[in-house]
């Protein structure tokens, strides 16, 4: 990502957070109990986040989410070869927000096993 794309991404993410917090309040929901999606980003994306935003993301071990077989099939590597990732939970991402995550995901250019943004949906 170039500097303009990074700034756009950070501004966009700030708006998503703001929208989410308003919607949680309107719906009388609790973020920690009522999240609906977990977004997982490779370290290369995490590193471009503002310091303030980084505080809202956690280290994510994909071995806790996927089986060994799934990791080998999906990412084409052994579990111990996965690159470092971070995750954050969101509340009711809109269709446009999910499309925007996908658009940003296409801008990631590395040769690492996890070279995209992953979204996992809650039950």
pLDDT tens digits, 71-122: 999 999 999 999 999 999 999 999 999 999 999 888 888 888 998 899 999 8
Q: How far is CA 25 from the centre of its chain?
A: 22
What's this model's pTM, rounded to 2 decimal places? 0.92
Helix (H) or strand (E) holding 41: strand 37-42
For CA atoms 61, 81, 74, 87, the dihedral sign is: positive
């Amino acid at each position: 990502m170039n500097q303009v794309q990074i700034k756009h991404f950070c501004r966009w993410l700030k708006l998503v957070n703001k929208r989410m917090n308003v919607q949680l309040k309107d719906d009388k929901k609790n973020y920690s109990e009522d999240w609906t999606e977990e977004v997982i980003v490779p370290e290369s994306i995490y590193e471009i986040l503002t310091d303030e935003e980084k505080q809202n993301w956690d280290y994510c071990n994909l071995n806790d989410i996927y089986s060994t077989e799934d990791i080998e099939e999906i990412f084409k590597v052994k579990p111990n070869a996965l690159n470092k990732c971070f995750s954050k939970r969101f509340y009711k991402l809109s269709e446009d927000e999910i499309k925007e995550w996908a658009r940003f995901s296409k801008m990631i250019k590395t040769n690492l096993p996890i070279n995209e943004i992953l979204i996992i949906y809650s039950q």
